[in-house]
């Protein structure tokens, strides 16, 4: 687009130069005109209204498939102006118009669209000399058609989708399918990233942030998040998304399908509970700490977040077990774990490592005193 505009500006300057040459002479100096116009990187016609003089530059000759040796350019002028039948009135309209859009078949039989800008160069008793410079709209029109088709396809796909779909071209503004609007109780099919993020459970928002930061890829990625649904309750959703870079004729695209996986997730939770939840304290166990810790570490590198890791133990806990019994000891462990859990920040984790050893992962928001203050509060 910038190239086309630059060409037009340059062509306008050339028109001024040609007009100056013509006004200073009482005859048409064909040699001077050809030198200026022949190798310009835009289509150009210099023509008299009675066709006593016609010059078509190289750029336009190639587009028309006109040989350099051709002598009769009159028919080519009509064709370049998109006039199928010679019409003096249309020719006058072109001469009087600053912009005239013409359509014709090029040398390869494909349709060409050119916006012609015509200026008066010289007038005498017999004829008037004009210079017409072209602005080739062909590629722009193809791009417009492609984008329109893509937009129609996109809109139709969203309307027909029987699953939740959430798509975006800039990762800031999103379009939701009717099914997504229904599932999440949205007021509109259009929403911002911030609005969608507010529906995500605070502990899962970092997962969505990581998805937004993902690079363009051919791979389909998947994340699971708790999202507030139409009934106001959080449900588990699987977001299968892809990030596609822009091309010359298409916009970038980010997004994918949203599926309610609450039932499946609850089954998985029962299995996960056996593997990752401490039976005594009902908080995460060592296995969960290792798994989530790896995920938090990977996310922190991607999003440049920092975390604190605090390791705690209950001094002389074995004495409590020996004197008060294991049942009372387990009650103390459970109560301590629940106290610990109150200090978990969004994206963090509390876990029982073993025996009376616990770990607490806290998101660092720039408060250097947070770990000490948290331990004292516990």
For residue 12, name the pLDDT band (cuts at 50, 70, 90): low
Which range is least confidently modeled, 55-64, 86-95, 147-156? 147-156
The continuous run of DSSP H or E covering 368 comes out as none
Q: What pLDDT does residue 151 have? A: 56
Q: What pLDDT does residue 92 have? A: 87
Which range is least confidently modeled, 29-38, 72-81, 115-124? 29-38
Percentage above 90 pLDDT, the chain: 23
Phi-psi region of 24 (alpha: psi -120 to 50; beta: other; left: phi over 0): alpha
Which range is least confidently modeled, 45-59, 191-205, 264-278? 264-278
**Collapsing DSSP states into helix, strand and coil, what is residue 330?**
helix
Which residues sit opposite 357 in a β-bridge?
A: 313, 354
Q: What pLDDT does residue 26 have? A: 43
Taking residues 28-41, what's their average pLDDT? 70
Could you write out the DSSP letters of every residue in 162-227? SSEEEEESSSSEEEE-HHHHHHHT-S-SEEEHHHHHHHB-GGGHHHHHHHHTPPP-SS-EEEEEEE
> Whole-model pTM?
0.41
The continuous run of DSSP H or E covering 141 comes out as helix 138-160
Number of H helices, E strands in the chain: 14, 14
Taking residues 208-230, what's their average pLDDT? 84
pLDDT digits (tens, 9 = 90+) for 364-378: 888 889 999 999 999
Q: Are 101 and 95 in contact (CB under 8 A)?
A: no
Rounded-to-integer distance, Cα 85 and Cα 78, Å = 8
Average pLDDT taken over every residue of the chain: 82
Could you write out the DSSP letters of every residue in 5-26? HHHHHHHHHHHHHHHHHHHH-S
Q: What pLDDT does residue 124 have? A: 83
Q: Are 312 and 330 in contact (CB under 8 A)?
A: no
Which range is least confidently modeled, 109-113, 194-198, 218-222, 357-361? 218-222
Q: What pLDDT does residue 1 have? A: 45
Q: Are 364 and 347 in contact (CB under 8 A)?
A: no
Query: Would you state the structure tokens that stand for residue 254, as one six-digit string?
Result: 């980010």
Taking residues 339-349, what's their average pLDDT? 87
Rounded-to-integer distance, Cα 298 and Cα 292, Å = 10
Does residue 98 surpass a pLDDT of 90? Answer: no
Of residues 302 and 328, the one with the higher pLDDT is: 328
Taking residues 209-231, what's their average pLDDT? 84
Q: How many CB atoms lie within 10 A of CB 32?
A: 14
| CA-based torsion, 178, 179, 180, 182: positive or negative | positive
Which range is least confidently modeled, 31-45, 88-102, 251-265, 303-317? 31-45
Q: What pLDDT does residue 16 have? A: 53
Q: What pLDDT does residue 358 have? A: 94
Rg, the chain, Cα only: 36
Q: What pLDDT does residue 241 have? A: 85
pLDDT digits (tens, 9 = 90+) for 53-78: 888 988 999 999 988 876 778 889 99
Query: Would you state the structure tokens that stand for residue 9, as one six-digit string?
Result: 């500006």
Rounded-to-integer distance, Cα 225 and Cα 173, Å = 20
Q: List, in order of start, the domains of the chain with CATH numbers.
A: 2-136 (3.30.450.20), 142-262 (3.30.450.20), 277-377 (3.30.70.270)
Of residues 106 and 271, the one with the higher pLDDT is: 106
Q: Are 360 and 374 in contact (CB under 8 A)?
A: yes
Q: What pLDDT does residue 79 have? A: 92
Does residue 11 surpass a pLDDT of 60? Answer: no
Q: What pLDDT does residue 299 have? A: 81
Q: What pLDDT does residue 216 have? A: 63
Q: What pLDDT does residue 32 have? A: 66
Q: Are 225 and 239 in contact (CB under 8 A)?
A: yes
Q: What pLDDT does residue 33 have? A: 65
Highest mean predicted confidence (pLDDT) among 24-28, 38-42, 152-156, 178-182: 178-182
| Residue showing tokens 């066709």 | 51
Taking residues 208-237, what's their average pLDDT? 86
For residue 126, name the pLDDT band (cuts at 50, 70, 90): confident
pLDDT digits (tens, 9 = 90+) for 307-337: 999 999 988 888 888 888 888 999 999 999 9
Q: How many CB atoms lie within 10 A of CB 365?
A: 9
What is the end-to-end Cα distance of the chain in Å, rounded?
64
């Amino acid at each position: 687009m910038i190239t086309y505009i630059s060409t037009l500006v340059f062509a306008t300057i050339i028109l001024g130069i040609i007009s100056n040459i013509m006004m200073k002479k009482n005859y048409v100096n064909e040699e001077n005109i050809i030198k200026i116009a022949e190798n310009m990187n835009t289509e150009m016609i210099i023509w008299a209204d009675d066709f006593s003089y016609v010059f078509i530059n190289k750029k336009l000759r190639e587009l028309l498939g006109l040989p350099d040796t051709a002598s009769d350019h009159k028919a080519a002028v009509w064709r370049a102006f998109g006039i199928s039948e010679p019409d003096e009135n249309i020719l006058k309209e072109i001469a009087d118009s600053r912009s005239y859009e013409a359509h014709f078949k090029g040398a390869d039989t494909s349709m060409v669209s050119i916006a012609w800008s015509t200026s008066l160069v010289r007038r005498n008793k017999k004829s008037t000399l004009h210079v017409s410079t072209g602005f080739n709209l062909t590629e722009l029109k193809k791009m417009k058609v492609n984008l329109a088709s893509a937009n129609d396809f996109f809109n139709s796909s969203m309307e027909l989708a029987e699953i939740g779909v959430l798509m975006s071209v800039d990762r800031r503004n999103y379009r939701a399918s009717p099914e997504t609007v229904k599932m999440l109780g949205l007021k509109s099919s259009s929403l911002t990233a911030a609005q969608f993020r507010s529906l995500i459970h605070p502990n899962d928002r970092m997962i969505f942030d990581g998805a937004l930061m993902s690079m363009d890829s051919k791979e389909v990625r998947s994340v699971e998040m708790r999202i507030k649904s139409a009934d106001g309750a959080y449900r588990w959703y699987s977001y299968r998304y892809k990030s596609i870079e822009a091309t010359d004729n298409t916009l970038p695209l980010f997004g994918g399908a949203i599926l309610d996986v609450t039932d499946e997730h609850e089954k998985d939770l029962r299995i996960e509970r056996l593997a990752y939840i401490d039976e005594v304290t009902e908080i995460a166990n060592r296995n969960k700490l290792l798994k989530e810790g790896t995920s938090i570490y990977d996310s922190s590198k991607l999003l440049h977040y920092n975390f604190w890791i605090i390791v705690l133990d209950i001094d002389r806990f074995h004495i409590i077990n020996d004197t008060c019994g294991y049942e009372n000891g387990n009650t103390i462990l459970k109560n301590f774990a629940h106290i610990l859990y109150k200090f978990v920040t969004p994206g963090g984790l509390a876990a029982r490592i073993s025996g009376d050893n616990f770990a607490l992962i806290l998101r660092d928001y720039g408060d250097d005193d947070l770990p000490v203050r948290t331990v004292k509060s516990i």
